[in-house]
Amino acid sequence: MKYIVEGSFKGIVTGAGIVVIEDNGKAKEYSFKELRVDPNSLIAEAFAIKCVIKLILETKKRQENITICTNNMGLFNYQNNSVDTHFEYVNDVIEKINLLKKYANLTIEGISPQIELEARFAQSLSREYLKDETYSLLPNGL
């Protein structure tokens, strides 16, 4: 299975969009959101990866070949900075990825031109929270 992920954020809302391409070619779409005091693009992508891991673990059937496609490969080269408050969150996601690699043939790759359309759709899904009427209730600037 191939999981195409995109993360986004605006104000205090972080979103994740995921397009799952099953081995038979069928596609499924998912959208998630969470509130965070201090989101940024790294946290948004980590949140999207965290959501993919949750989807994979919730799937009852065993998946031997899993590909996660992201436009933020820098997430996997992330180094701790002593003043960085995001380290724990990102490190937790990377640890979960490493654990998943022990149970499945997991590949992480960038977004290729062949899946650019699906990636744009995942990006749109990651911003579904903007359509939520409760988002407009947040104070300006958040």
> Measured between alpha carbons, how far is 111 from 125 in angstroms, rounded to an integer?
16
> Measured between alpha carbons, how far is 33 from 135 in angstroms, rounded to an integer?
11
User: What is the pLDDT, as a whole number, of residue 140?
Assistant: 55
Domain 2-137, CATH number (from 1.20.1300.10, 3.30.43.10, 3.90.960.10, 3.30.420.10): 3.30.420.10
| Predicted confidence (pLDDT) per residue in 63-105, tens digit | 678 999 998 877 766 555 544 567 788 888 888 888 888 888 8
